[in-house]
Structure 1
């Protein structure tokens, strides 16, 4: 079975796991004032309403056009009008404060009141591979939303023997959930929502990664595994489908280099296991960086 194309091209490629895990498509450096990753929390907690735009003004006084969903949200939901101050971000660390210059039926013009800032991504980079294609109701939405809020660098739907498909319509919806969550939690770097991936495609990524955790029932507790994993703060998180991985899939992943870890004595749903594993690793990574600074 072929994997499905994602909703937008910029989400179409997996990050290079042997590199720095950062997006290669960056903004022109000369157009932005740079901020270090230590300034990330300050820059991501503005008081103004914040909206997404692929394009940002290149300098103070520059103007960009805002249309479609964000235009609707700004003018129909929040009732913003000309001269109201807002912020735009591009999902790649770019952030600029400005105001609405003019509004018409098809969109609005935003004018920058300052030079855009470019905030570097945080060094903690965890990439989630979870088999959630068969989840019903809003459970897949919840999984993607919480991964965005917790700071996952990417989420990839994993196709397995017991979760072999995911619909294109669902991918479209999940991307909207991802964007809404990014705005709600004021995240400056978008979480990548990648195309679905089969186990065969995951195995080389596990082999290339310095640290990969595989959620397996009755395995070594995660906290115990962390004590012997060094100071790595980046890697892969792999969670199976309802009914778990097959024995063959588990063996293939472990042979590729994944570390099997347990998440307690109870049987967890896919979304619960994913969030529990990600939250623990994000907190652990933060403590490692604090101790190392």
Structure 2
């Protein structure tokens, strides 16, 4: 069955209105007809089995038959704070895969060694939306504003577990061990550095804020690979 996004504002009294790009996709791409069933995702943890009752010039009216809340969402809420990259396409891939894995929020981040780029927030949101529909997830990860590493550290206290992958730290434990030592952590922040890695001063500042240095294995990983691998380990073990 096909998935479509519908804004929560367009749902009332078990009637959902599909508009704009989603309406075009419904009518022009997959060519749905009145009477056919679809699944609607509102990006707020709700999915709806619905039937198309009427198709107008600029919208489709759908009757909700059944709703589900937080279906197949991970028990742990993971936020990724990831350095912006020289090649934006690699950051795009990270957003797509993180959405599929079940990450709740992504913070594009500037560190000392980041290559300055103008991250296009709207493009990242579109990538997350497409990935949400592709995998049938009902929650749309929040793409937060571009933030300095120091600002991320300032807000880190709200998370029950804070991790920073760092392959050169002698004090780093495997991410599996750290997760096993904190089975009750319900919210996890993972900070991932740029191509050149975090500076020693940044690592020290993070540890001072309660971050734990973790290892993702014996090889040096690209930023987007490290983010996906770390999120996968944490979500998969929850």
TM-score by length of 1: 0.73
| SS of residue in 2 equivalent to 1:146 | helix
How many angstroms does 1:122 deviate by?
Answer: 4.4
In structure 1, list runs of 5 or more residues that go unmatched.
Answer: 1-47, 286-293
Check the 8 A contact 1:93/1:189 in 2, yes or no: yes
- Which of 80, 88, 97 is the matching residue for 1:146? 97
Measured in 1, the distance between the counterparts of 2:154 and 2:89 equals 31
Measured in 2, the distance between the counterparts of 1:119 and 1:205 equals 26
Matched residue, 2:165: 215
How many angstroms does 1:164 deviate by?
Answer: 5.8
Matched residue, 1:54: 7
Measured in 1, the distance between the counterparts of 2:210 and 2:20 equals 44
1:191 lines up with 2:144 in the alignment: no
How many angstroms does 1:178 deviate by?
Answer: 0.3
**Bigger mean CA deviation after superposition, 116-125 or 250-259:** 116-125
Is the alpha carbon distance of 1:198 and 1:116 closer, same or farther for their aligned partners in structure 2, counting shifts above 3 Å? same
**Bigger mean CA deviation after superposition, 89-98 or 181-190:** 89-98
Is the alpha carbon distance of 1:119 and 1:265 closer, same or farther for their aligned partners in structure 2, counting shifts above 3 Å? closer
Q: Per-residue displacement from partner, 1:163-213 (whole Å, max 9, x unpaired)? A: 264425x22111111001111111112211111111221112223432111
1:91 lines up with 2:43 in the alignment: yes
| SS of residue in 1 equivalent to 2:237 | helix
Matched residue, 1:174: 124
Matched residue, 2:218: 265
Matched residue, 1:204: 154
How many angstroms does 1:124 deviate by?
Answer: 1.2
Structure ranking higher in strand proportion: 2
| SS of residue in 1 equivalent to 2:51 | strand
- Which of 24, 46, 59 is the matching residue for 1:72? 24
Q: Per-residue displacement from partner, 1:89-117 (whole Å, max 9, x unpaired)? A: 211122222222222332222233x2544
Check the 8 A contact 1:88/1:97 in 2, yes or no: yes
| SS of residue in 2 equivalent to 1:138 | helix
Matched residue, 2:227: 274
TM-score by length of 2: 0.88
In structure 2, list runs of 5 or more residues that go unmatched.
Answer: none
Q: Per-residue displacement from partner, 1:3-42 (whole Å, max 9, x unpaired)? A: xxxxxxxxxxxxxxxxxxxxxxxxxxxxxxxxxxxxxxxx
How many angstroms does 1:119 deviate by?
Answer: 3.7
Check the 8 A contact 1:94/1:116 in 2, yes or no: yes
Runs of 4+, deviation exceeding 4 Å: none
Corresponding pairs, count: 233
Matched residue, 1:163: 114
